[in-house]
Amino acid sequence: MFIIIFYNHRIKTDLPDYVNQVSLEELYGQSDIIILHVSQTPQTTEMIDAAAIAKMRAGVIVINTARGGLINEYDLTQALTTGKILAAGIDMSKQEPILADSPLLTAKNCYITPHIAWAPKETRKRLLDITISNLMAFLDGKPVNVVN
């Protein structure tokens, strides 16, 4: 059996038995794989840095499909070099396009994709379906996802 743990600054309820909300400290210390799905804000910028990495289990895998600025690239490279982090999957870098001297380009076990996590056909279809649904709701006088 597996358990999924996650951190969110808002308390979530009605979770399946195999899903537990934990503190960020617990997430760092208990996770075998950490996947980032957060917006980049002042609170989340470089949320993966040397201090966070020090709290992680040895051999953790880090995947970032959110924003490049969530990770301190130098600290991640150091952790990959020492083996503290076993591997990293990065869909974007702090600077895009990635700089030629980025330490991630030569980091051990670092797999970089060119900001295409959203690109599968199924994802693009879902985005188009949502767009059409939002447009139809607007035309019916019942707009959704309104930003005022």
117: left (phi over 0), alpha (psi -120 to 50) or beta: alpha
Tokens 């600077």 label which residue?
95
Q: Coil, strand or helix: which one is 117?
A: coil
- Quote the CA–CA distance of 60 and 33 in Å, as a whole number: 6
25 is catalytic: no
Which of these is catalytic: 26, 46, 57, 115? 115
26 is catalytic: no
73 is catalytic: no
Which of these is catalytic: 37, 96, 124, 126? 96
Which of these is catalytic: 67, 73, 122, 126? 67
For the four alpha carbons of 6, 7, 8 and 11, in that order, the dihedral sign comes to positive
Contact 53, 85 (CB under 8 A): yes
> Which positions are catalytic?
67, 96, 115
